Amino acid sequence: MVKETQTGGSMLEIKVCQIKGKCPVHKVGDEITIDGAKILLDKTDAICIHAFSTLQHYVVALEEGADPGKLGLSKDKEHAYMQCVDPGEPYTEGGTVIFDCCRATVD
């Protein structure tokens, strides 16, 4: 069963599934949990402001049940894949992070 937010949407779990290059903030497996407009800090490993600028554009739509495939973020309805804006080498010394976002399930 999917967890609902206080506003009736569904909570989101965002997990780092891949890093291309070097990321000074995230590591593979890091998680961010979002409940409505709130980032649950006790269930969040790290937040990079550069990556979050990409994530925040889709969070509200996904919480409200938007189809990730129709948004161009996945080939299925369960996961949405998003990427940090840092292009990595040879353009920067950093790297890009791929995030897997899905609705949270009841523990």
Task: Enumerate the H helices of 1-107 as residue ranges.
Answer: 49-63
Domain ranges (residues) in the chain: 12-103
How far apart CA 40 and CA 68 sit, in angstroms, is 22
Is the model's pLDDT at 1 over the cut of 50?
A: no
Express each pLDDT in 34-88 by its tens digit: 998 899 999 999 999 889 988 988 888 898 889 999 999 999 989 999 999 998 8
The pTM for the full model equals 0.86
* Amino acid identity, position 103: R
Contact 25, 19 (CB under 8 A): no
> 93: Cβ–Cβ under 8 A, 6 or more apart, which residues?
22
pLDDT digits (tens, 9 = 90+) for 29-46: 999 999 988 999 999 999
Q: Cα separations (Å) of 51 from 34, 46, 60, 98, 103?
A: 15, 11, 16, 9, 19
Neighbours of 23 (CB within 10 A): 22
